[in-house]
Chain A
């Protein structure tokens, strides 16, 4: 990074060294840990709920609280995962595998400490990668034209659809439904009205915030209402001291840490995957390469470290495509993208030259937020556990009211609140038929990017689609996309055939 890198940090920190910004960041981290620890509430929901509060702030103040939530929420999930055996967010599913057995053995406090320490280390690792790669990538991405953005958009969508879990067809349909919602309103390029049926409110199209709240938050309320018999959560004891790992253990775990952090950061960079998958992949890689795989699942710190390092390492990785290309890596960064737009800033390679100071301030905030997360999570644990005991039938209605206020305040129209309701119906319908919700959100974000760049690219090549393959980067990315699609198709076909052979054509 050299001198340029140092001055970058000096500039970033000088901008955020202000009590108000620090307090906002701290508030964000506390809220984030709470959202992360509350089952059913995720980082993207937390950001969506707090976003309205930032409408009146400048971008750096707003980012302080939003990034605080983003960082806090990924780590907060470990509290419930370890002490109650319920992952607070999908990002901490693998944390329950070894974290909870440790707590059952009476080592809950140690598990929390180890998890929090490696959350911090994983987060910082990914930030180093972010700081090193993003300026270079941004410079490189300056040369990207419509063709490249189109190709990357299509690749992202393909990855999201095929890796969101469950059926690939359903994942793809979810993503396309997200895109269809973006075709309502003014079209890009020629601003023709589409699917507005003469309704003025539809001219501006739907917004991400109502979609997110509708698909995720309302769904949680319905689920909680369905599970009417509210089971009592039992919290295991968590008394402990120190960092939880000795120097010797730290050295033993170093390889595990680096591999898991690398996996997390890499998955963060790939669009659409995110923390929910990283912890499971890191856990299985760690287990498969371990000398004692049989200990995994019985409460060994290796598994805990793999999971908590990887999910927090996603945070820095996911910021890379967001900041350099304006393409969000997961639902949380999609919400951050919406926050940028609200403050009149469009992420992309130009951001580094036009709003360099904002980027440096964000880098500084990310470092501060990670450290705050570590301190707050360790020392505020009893407080968070008390907050978690708030019954869900009291908490979730309050969330709904906050979400509605946020949606309304965006444009001061009740129409946006009604669209929450509509998206809730869509989300409920989709979940009943086992369609994953995440691709809907990312399809909604990527749809306009893909369409706009498709049209501009086609216009500049006078309608020749081959031009998208003629440029080296876009051509490579598109060929890669086709290969993934072909692989998915063949894999599905083979699975069917194998099943037929094995079961004699009876049961699949």
Chain B
């Protein structure tokens, strides 16, 4: 994405979202408890301000884009790791609900250490990551479940 269009793009997205938000706000029920303001007004005020600010972001962006000449394409960024980080977290949350906290945490910790570490991963670090993953999950389980008496996500297993 070219840098000079950044504000125009984000301004348009925000403007569209705030319009959607404002439209949805008309679904909010009005009651007799509070006839003066009601539950609609505050979201509508905030939504309107965001809409106005987004528009000014777009206008400012257009002015700037006009002034600056064509830009060299920025350096290509690799989003593989970012996607892997977010993806594995989503899978972790999903699994937490299905197979319980302990096993899903071991899987998540291990995969995350690999994703964030140096590539390619050596056999030695693989073993280290695995050991840490198991140990950390076990310690958290014992500490939180047994010592601090918190409930952890679980499914039949642990």
Contact = CB atoms under 8 A, between A and B. Distances in A.
Interface in B99-158: 101, 105, 108-109, 112-113, 115-119, 129, 132, 136-137, 140, 144, 148-153
Interface stretch (A8-16, A71-79, A222-230, A362-370): A222-230
A404 B144 contact: no
Interface residues of B, number: 66
Contacts of B50: 173, 176-177, 180
A421 B150 contact: no
Nearest to B9: A433
Interface string B5-37: 011011000100000010011001111011011
Contact of A397 (B10, B34, B68, B112): B112
A400 B112 contact: yes
A463 B93 contact: no
B94 to A, nearest CB: 9
A404 B29 contact: no
Contacts of B153: 408, 414, 417
Contacts of B92: 404
A466 to B, nearest CB: 14
B-side interface mostly:
helix
B116 A393 contact: yes
Given A52-B150, A56-B150, A409-B151, A189 B34 contact: yes
A409 B81 contact: no
A421 B90 contact: yes
Given A189-B39, A194-B39, A424 B118 contact: no
A169 interface: yes
A-side interface mostly:
helix
B14 A173 contact: yes
Contacts, number: 178
A396 B116 contact: yes
Interface in A369-412: 391-394, 396-398, 400-402, 404-405, 408-409, 412
A258 interface: no
Contacts of A506: 67
Interface string B25-66: 100111101101111001100110110011011001000100
Interface residues of A, number: 67
B151 A397 contact: no
Given A401-B108, A451-B42, A459 B152 contact: no
Interface in B76-99: 81-82, 84-86, 89-90, 92-93, 96-97
A451 B6 CA distance: 32
Contacts of B132: 394
Contacts of A165: none
A402 B96 contact: no
Contacts of B64: 508
A187 interface: yes
Interface of A: 52-53, 55-56, 169-170, 172-173, 176-177, 179-180, 183, 187, 189-190, 192-195, 218, 221-222, 224-226, 228-230, 391-394, 396-398, 400-402, 404-405, 408-409, 412, 414, 417-418, 420-421, 424-425, 428, 433-434, 447, 450-451, 454-455, 458-459, 462-463, 505-508
Given A190-B38, A459-B37, 8 more contacts: A170-B57, A228-B119, A392-B116, A393-B115, A401-B105, A414-B97, A418-B93, A428-B82
27 contacts: A52-B150, A56-B148, A176-B49, A179-B46, A183-B42, A189-B34, A189-B37, A221-B85, A222-B86, A228-B81, A228-B119, A397-B113, A397-B116, A408-B96, A408-B153, A409-B152, A417-B93, A421-B86, A421-B90, A424-B89, A433-B9, A434-B6, A451-B42, A455-B34, A455-B36, A463-B37, A506-B67
